[in-house]
A and B are shown apart, each in its own frame.
Chain A
Amino acid sequence: MSGLASLRRLMWVGLTLLSHYRRHPAQTAFLIIGLVTGVGIWSAVQIINSHARASYAEADQVLGAQASHWVRASDGGGVDPDAYIQLRRAGFTQLYPVIETRVATDAGEPLWLIATDLLALPRSEGSIDASGAGWLAMIQPPYQTWYPPELAESLGVAPGDTLTLSDGRTLPPAVPQSQQQQGRRLFMDIGAALDVLDRDRFSYLAAAGLDADTARELEAALPSGLRLEPNRQRLDLNQLTESLHTNLTAMSLLSFAVGLFIVFNAVRYALLSRSPTFHTLRELGASGRQLSFAILLETGVWSLIGTGLGLAVGFGLSQVLLPPLAATLQSLYGAVVGADILLRPSTWLLAWGITLAGLVFALAMPLWQESRQSVRAARDLSDRWVRDRTARRRLAWVGLILALAAGAVYSQMTTVLVGFVVLGLALFAAAFCLPVVLGAVLGWTLRALPEKAWQLRWAFSDGGAQLPTLRIAMMALLLALTANLGVETLVGSFRTALTDWLDQRLAADLYLQRDSLTREELNLPADADWLAASHQRVGLDIRWRGRPTEVRGLEPEAPDSRALPLADSSNELSLWYVWDTDNPVILANEQVRHLAGVESGQTITLSTGLGDRSFEIVGFVHDYGNPYYQFYLPRGEVERLWPGRAEPQGLALWLSDRPDAEASAEAALLAAGAQAGDWIRQAQIKTVSLRIFDRTFAITAAMNGLTLGVAGLALLTALLAIHQQRLPDYAHWRSLGVRYREMGRVLTLPLAVIVLLTWLASMPLGALLSWLLIHDLNVLAFGWTMALDWDWAPAIRLGLLTAGVVAAALAVSLWRLHRQLPEALRRLGGQS
């Protein structure tokens, strides 16, 4: 046979096979839905992650200009514009001033703001672009505030609006426009920022592309009080956010796996219902190899369709999921993530690759089965039902092996990635063991039922017939339910821990946020009758073990220092409160313990202004949400060890019991030079903190919901497939005079039992998952520990939700059954 003829023959075989999908739109739809949801969710996360990483790669730029270094004030008070002008006039034209600050809307919503002098921004000579009008109005009164469009939308700010801040100040008119590396920040001219925020200092000077010589010259030229720091933002961000991105990837892979279950079902069913076609084609002379090749071709076609549509959905989804994630990255890590998403060719290729791999996997098993059975067997459901017992047992063996592997890897778990491998192994082990459990429970129940309960017995025995098709959907459902429960428990536990921690940590009534207003500067009278206690914290940023690290100076007598949220402490904790320079002790946040692997009683070395100093760790403090290492020393020690470098970190004020204490406090603060908005009430910080927390987990909730939705779809497809396959059975029942009511009972009861069992199984598994997440993964990823806080509400909510999905799926498939039954009855004698 000539090559052309064989190609034509292959085409003909392929087209004959594909024509199936035209005649069975429902199967086609499910295949596509499976592919699209799986690929969509996975690629959305992929897109978001790579986008975020691309943003980190630009993190050494500030507003479009490279910033290799910063110039900051040693006392944290900001850079005097005169010093900046002096440096510019000395020829350091690489410097440009930046004001970067957090403000709050009058509703308390935190906003980040960045400002620079566009005229001073370094640029390459001759590369001037005339595009982008509008900034001229920006540098002149009344100025402009540039809002990234989606932020403007979420704040409800229309062009021209002037946003009022919590301190009563008003921002210049809004323009929905964004700047490179603006992220979710507001952008304005630095002149405007000085004016509007009533400041007289810059946050820092950024230095673009300093070479080593110039950096040395600049360092020498810096007036006292300023210091030059290299910009390590990019490295730091990649390091700090790694765990977060691993988390997201793991969740997206789970969604992909669940999507794959649908595909698996759909493909298997598509192959199964085409068995006659295969045999006809074989009889017509198509070789086995040609058939296999045609199926592979079909797989290729589907993988392309799935990838294309999945990426389109993923792209859309990423647009929805990015803003909350960007807000999280901003508030947690200070990472600036832009709103404009790029779809990279590598994402395309990777998506196609995993889709193809998933499809081949989904095809391989059914094809293998197909090749091993005769035409007759393939058509005989009873045989399939019996063989499924063997298949279930095989799955359970695989599940056991996976479980053993999970146990083995668990003991070696040292990184987040390995942690997720354990998690994945455990989840899939459970999923693989589920069918055998379901089969066994149905079998035991059947045997336990009395002879008289023949309808129940029939129903339970029918469960056996439903199981082969349902089991994959149930495995998907179990995965989704377990993941949901596990993550909900994690989030719930975290929220409880955070709330307790906030209560403990934010014990004072008022917090003065303006760093320039210290207790000393406020000159509060010691005997003010409205004031019960106060705590002036100081702090500075250093590097320890290659990571950005915070050193905080606490006043040991302050009420909140007396009741630190300790995670663990040694017997020597009291030494921290009665400081002895010969026996220096230190407190650290938990991150130091879990991420740096330092235990209580061990000694750590910090480089201080007076040289390296060693401290014995006497306790660890919970410090949720902080990506940095943190050490606590008495304030006096910090000021002694880092002379001139400790910056004020806010002043906490405890009010007395006097009824007018708050009014007196505010009056005193105003009199001392503070402005309304400089202080914040405890309750307000808590509200804002919890709001940030909830937004942080919004993406988790969204992904959870999507995963469950995908599992619901898997269930629906499975039920529709069952009813399509078993239509002749039902017709036969009907021919015996079985009433719809009875049929409904027989069909629904085992399904309900199977779903109920799956839901029940998800609870211990969900608990196990949350335990792994809280006790191991969270600690590995973020270094935070917390108590597992099991709540029945999510389990019940999920149960009801699942019941709803099952009811809906059942309603749809029973409705279809009702419509198709007359036709099936007609065919009863002839076709089957």
Chain B
Amino acid sequence: MIRRFIRISLLILLAGAAIAESPYEVLRSTGEGYAEVMPERAINFPQDHQPHPDYRIEWWYLTANLTDDRGQPWGVHWTLFRQSLAPAGPVDDWSSRQVWMAHAALSTPEGHVYGERFARGGIGQAGVAIDDEERFDAWLDDWQLLGTGPGPIPGTLSFTIGDRTLTLELSADTPWVLQGQNGYSQKSDQGQASHYYSQPHIRTTGTLTAPNMTVNLSGKAWLDREWSSQPLAPDQPGWDWFSIHLDDGHALMVYQLRHDEGAPWLSGTWVTPDGNARPLTADEIELRVKERTEVNVGPEETRALPLTWTLAIPSLEQRWDIRAVQPNHWLNTAFPYWEGPIEVTGTTPGMGYLELTGY
């Protein structure tokens, strides 16, 4: 039989030679030989916008809630992942052990399109670097987040999926928000953690062009930067992550890392309109699944995903109902997950993005 050509699979890519039970296995594998995430390590700008090849995994993660001229909701999600295949080794030529992956997704009023790309590191096809004009540059092929200075914001995101090309101008006035304790974000009580910072207050305008169509878009975006060598504990199958822009200018990030047994690991950050962050402890967060919805995850396959939630932060006297704007936002990529815009109603309404992994 003709063997089907082996499709690139993040599963194997991330998990090393062994075939893992789950694509997320790499996030749980021990970071032996890699740099370790330490609470005392300070985050420095702009250096930490650049890659950290001595850590196993890293990402530049942008989501945006946008509206067009007619007020219809749009969503954008663009991620660049970096992965080290080995703790040491060359970074800058064909023998590089750095591998890059990018996802781009566009949530339109009617549906969802996305793309996925891979590239090896070291050859210039993908990477994050400071370019000749001293600008921050994160790219894979022609997908690019290009800063105007050494940081990604202000900057321009551009990517193409099929025949649609998106260009977004990104700017922010508030400082970077260090998640967790000064950027040290603990993921379990077994020591798993990451370095994590965000820019939740990004103003965005841009255009989507497609044959016979140009759409002007504007709204708010959120950029996450995170790197680690072992972000997940062995008994954590996945996470539910929320980033919310509230209409009064506040921003909220909440995530829970689910455990095979027992209560999830909850964490969050409350960000004021001027960028001041207040970490939320687990006991301050009440996060509950309200309803599960059948979502298409393949041509013939559906899965029940929690797309309706209730969230309350009693200490802030806030309570929300959260609902996915559209259910069918499953990315059937090598590393499959659900990611899409959410609508938030309650004490203070807003919009945001939800990411569901490990389902």
Direct A–B touching in the complex (beta carbon < 8 Å)?
Answer: yes
How far apart are the CA atoms of A192 and B84 in the complex, in Å?
18
- What chain A residues lie within 8 Å of B89 (beta carbons)? 140-141
Question: Is B11's beta carbon under 8 Å from chain A?
Answer: yes
Contact assessment for B99 and A119 in the assembled complex, using a CB-CB cutoff below 8 Å: yes
How far apart are the CA atoms of A439 and B334 in the complex, in Å?
78
Out of B97, B141, B142, B334, which one reaches A128, CB within 8 Å? B334
Interface centre among B4, B13, B114, B123 (most CB of A within 10 A): B123
How far apart are the CA atoms of A609 and B9 in the complex, in Å?
46
**Contacts A85-B125, A125-B115, A136-B13: A180 and B19 contacting too (C-beta < 8 A)?**
no
Contact assessment for A64 and B5 in the assembled complex, using a CB-CB cutoff below 8 Å: yes
- What chain B residues lie within 8 Å of A89 (beta carbons)? 124-125, 139, 141-142
Question: Is A710's beta carbon under 8 Å from chain B?
Answer: no
**Contacts A89-B142, A119-B119, A120-B125: A130 and B5 contacting too (C-beta < 8 A)?**
no
**Contacts A91-B142, A125-B116, A140-B86: A130 and B9 contacting too (C-beta < 8 A)?**
yes
Q: Mark A102-134, 1 if CB is under 8 A from B, else 0.
A: 000000000000000111110101111111111
- What chain B residues lie within 8 Å of A191 (beta carbons)? 94-95, 120, 123
How far apart are the CA atoms of A773 and B205 in the complex, in Å?
76
Out of B2, B8, B17, B97, which one reaches A119, CB within 8 Å? B8
Q: Mark B96-127, 1 if CB is under 8 A from A, else 0.
A: 01010000000000000011111110011100
Q: Closest A-chain residue to B90, C-beta based?
A: A141
- What chain B residues lie within 8 Å of A126 (beta carbons)? 116, 332-333
Q: Mark B1-37, 1 if CB is under 8 A from A, else 0.
A: 1111111111111001111000000000000000000
Interface centre among A81, A125, A127 (most CB of B within 10 A): A125
Q: What is the minimal beta-carbon distance from B330 to any residue of chain A, in angstroms?
A: 10
B128-146 contacts to A, CB under 8 A, are: 139, 141-142
Q: What is the minimal beta-carbon distance from B117 to any residue of chain A, in angstroms?
A: 7
- What chain B residues lie within 8 Å of A63 (beta carbons)? 5
**Contacts A81-B123, A88-B141: A178 and B3 contacting too (C-beta < 8 A)?**
yes
- What chain A residues lie within 8 Å of B141 (beta carbons)? 88-89, 91, 93
**Contacts A191-B94, A191-B120: A129 and B86 contacting too (C-beta < 8 A)?**
no
Contact assessment for B85 and A140 in the assembled complex, using a CB-CB cutoff below 8 Å: yes
Interface size on A, residues (CB 8 A): 43
Q: Closest A-chain residue to B96, C-beta based?
A: A191
Q: Closest B-chain residue to A118, C-beta based?
A: B8
- What chain B residues lie within 8 Å of A195 (beta carbons)? 94-95
Interface centre among A63, A81, A139 (most CB of B within 10 A): A139
How far apart are the CA atoms of A768 and B115 in the complex, in Å?
66
Question: Is B236's beta carbon under 8 Å from chain A?
Answer: no
- What chain B residues lie within 8 Å of A557 (beta carbons)? none
Interface centre among B5, B9, B114, B124 (most CB of A within 10 A): B5
Question: Is A179's beta carbon under 8 Å from chain B?
Answer: yes
- What chain B residues lie within 8 Å of A129 (beta carbons)? 4, 6-7, 9
Out of B1, B86, B139, which one reaches A340, CB within 8 Å? B1
A75-102 contacts to B, CB under 8 A, are: 81-82, 85, 88-91, 93
Question: Is A135's beta carbon under 8 Å from chain B?
Answer: yes
Q: What is the minimal beta-carbon distance from A96 to any residue of chain B, in angstroms?
A: 11
Contact assessment for A139 and B120 in the assembled complex, using a CB-CB cutoff below 8 Å: yes
- What chain B residues lie within 8 Å of A88 (beta carbons)? 119, 125, 141-142
- What chain A residues lie within 8 Å of B10 (beta carbons)? 128
How far apart are the CA atoms of A28 and B334 in the complex, in Å?
59
Question: Is A194's beta carbon under 8 Å from chain B?
Answer: yes
How far apart are the CA atoms of A90 and B139 in the complex, in Å?
11
How far apart are the CA atoms of A178 and B116 in the complex, in Å?
26
Question: Is B229's beta carbon under 8 Å from chain A?
Answer: no
- What chain A residues lie within 8 Å of B5 (beta carbons)? 63-65, 121, 179-180
Q: Closest A-chain residue to B15, C-beta based?
A: A136
Question: Is A137's beta carbon under 8 Å from chain B?
Answer: yes
How far apart are the CA atoms of A128 and B16 in the complex, in Å?
17
- What chain A residues lie within 8 Å of B16 (beta carbons)? 136
Question: Is B269's beta carbon under 8 Å from chain A?
Answer: no
A175-207 contacts to B, CB under 8 A, are: 178-180, 190-191, 194-195
How far apart are the CA atoms of A179 and B89 in the complex, in Å?
28
Question: Is A750's beta carbon under 8 Å from chain B?
Answer: no
**Contacts A85-B123, A90-B142: A140 and B8 contacting too (C-beta < 8 A)?**
no
Question: Is A338's beta carbon under 8 Å from chain B?
Answer: yes
Q: What is the minimal beta-carbon distance from A722 to any residue of chain B, in angstroms?
A: 48
How far apart are the CA atoms of A125 and B334 in the complex, in Å?
10
Question: Is B160's beta carbon under 8 Å from chain A?
Answer: yes
Contact assessment for A120 and B334 in the assembled complex, using a CB-CB cutoff below 8 Å: no
Q: What is the minimal beta-carbon distance from B97 to any residue of chain A, in angstroms?
A: 6
Q: What is the minimal beta-carbon distance from B131 to any residue of chain A, in angstroms?
A: 12
Out of A85, A130, A132, A342, which one reaches B124, CB within 8 Å? A85
Contact assessment for A194 and B334 in the assembled complex, using a CB-CB cutoff below 8 Å: no
**Contacts A85-B124, A88-B125: A180 and B94 contacting too (C-beta < 8 A)?**
no
Contact assessment for B17 and A137 in the assembled complex, using a CB-CB cutoff below 8 Å: yes
- What chain B residues lie within 8 Å of A180 (beta carbons)? 2-5
Q: Closest B-chain residue to A131, C-beta based?
A: B6
Contact assessment for A338 and B2 in the assembled complex, using a CB-CB cutoff below 8 Å: yes
Contact assessment for B6 and A132 in the assembled complex, using a CB-CB cutoff below 8 Å: yes
How far apart are the CA atoms of A128 and B1 in the complex, in Å?
19
A116-171 contacts to B, CB under 8 A, are: 117-121, 123, 125-137, 139-141
Q: What is the minimal beta-carbon distance from A115 to any residue of chain B, in angstroms?
A: 11
Given contacts A128-B334, A191-B123, 13 further A-B contacts (CB under 8 A): A88-B125, A117-B120, A118-B6, A125-B114, A128-B7, A128-B9, A133-B12, A133-B17, A136-B16, A137-B17, A140-B86, A178-B3, A190-B94
Q: List 5 A-B contacts (CB under 8 A).
A: A119-B99, A133-B18, A140-B86, A180-B2, A195-B95
Report which B residues bind A (CB closer than 8 A): 1-13, 16-19, 85-86, 89, 94-95, 97, 99, 114-120, 123-125, 139, 141-142, 160, 332-334
Report which A residues bind B (CB closer than 8 A): 63-65, 81-82, 85, 88-91, 93, 117-121, 123, 125-137, 139-141, 178-180, 190-191, 194-195, 338, 340, 342
List 10 tightest A-B contacts by C-beta distance, closest first: A64-B5, A191-B94, A132-B6, A91-B142, A129-B7, A126-B332, A119-B118, A180-B5, A85-B124, A128-B7
